[in-house]
Amino acid sequence: MRYTEAKEHTPGRLHELFADPYHAFGNDADERQLHIRIMLHLLVARPLKRGHLTLRVIHGWENGGFEPQALLNADYHLNSISDFQKAVDEFTLATQKGSAFPSDDLSLLAKPLDAAITKAHAKGQVLDTETRTIPARWPAFEEGLALYTFFKIYHRLVYSEDDSYRCAHCETPQGLREIHEFHLEEGEFAVVIPPGPDYRTEESLLILHESQLVPMERLLTQSIPLFENF
């Protein structure tokens, strides 16, 4: 397994602010609401203000399903909360009409998985059916651990998770990324950011399931204006 591709439960940007970020967002945490507002300011509001934030809405998995080809997404570049609200409106309208949710041609898992398997075969690695089709086996080939890491993130965002917060580092086609994942009463989402000073100049990614659009809109609307004068 190529553990250099991804590391989970690692220190990240929030460790610079909180003594113990893994316990800063639990329901029994002191100053929990303040922690949430500070986190949103750092991870969402600042890249949003710089024009460096993309919203990724995932959908397609349901009833326990997790086939890579079934996971769909729609990406929206955000410059303001109004842009987020436009995404909410699109999905709300689709729900009301009973039509298909918006989706891009981008393949989050299926296409990169096929490419990684093809590359492994080209290098002479023999992959049996279980290794190709069972996500927990993907780390057996190059780029598989990173794919498995994001598979787990998408799965938790769709089907929920008990831990309120976790942080991971993962090599992506765009380079090393720091992944902050939240499962809060107020909303469930992940934020993927560039490490170090690249955070100020490169794109960040806000990922959530379509069911979390309205809760996230409420959370952002309530939180982001609090820091506009700071």
Structure confidence at residue 136 (pLDDT): 93
What is the chain's mean pLDDT, rounded?
92
Strand 175-184 relative to strand 187-193, pairing: antiparallel
Question: In the chain, which residue ranges form alpha helices assigned H by DSSP?
Answer: 32-40, 46-50, 81-97, 110-122, 129-133, 144-159, 213-223
* Tens digits of residue pLDDT in 210-220: 999 999 999 99
pLDDT surpasses 50 at 1? no
Q: For residues 80-85, give the mean pLDDT.
A: 96
Q: For residues 91-105, give the mean pLDDT.
A: 94
Distance CA 159, CA 6 (A): 22
* Tens digits of residue pLDDT in 185-210: 999 999 999 988 888 889 999 999 99
Structure confidence at residue 173 (pLDDT): 80
* Tens digits of residue pLDDT in 35-54: 999 999 999 999 999 999 99
Percent of all residues in the chain with a pLDDT value above 70, rounded to a whole number: 97
* Tens digits of residue pLDDT in 57-70: 999 999 999 999 99
Degrees, nearest 5: CA angle 158-162-165: 90
Q: Of the given ranges (45-54, 58-67, 89-98, 165-174), which has the lowest mean pLDDT? A: 165-174
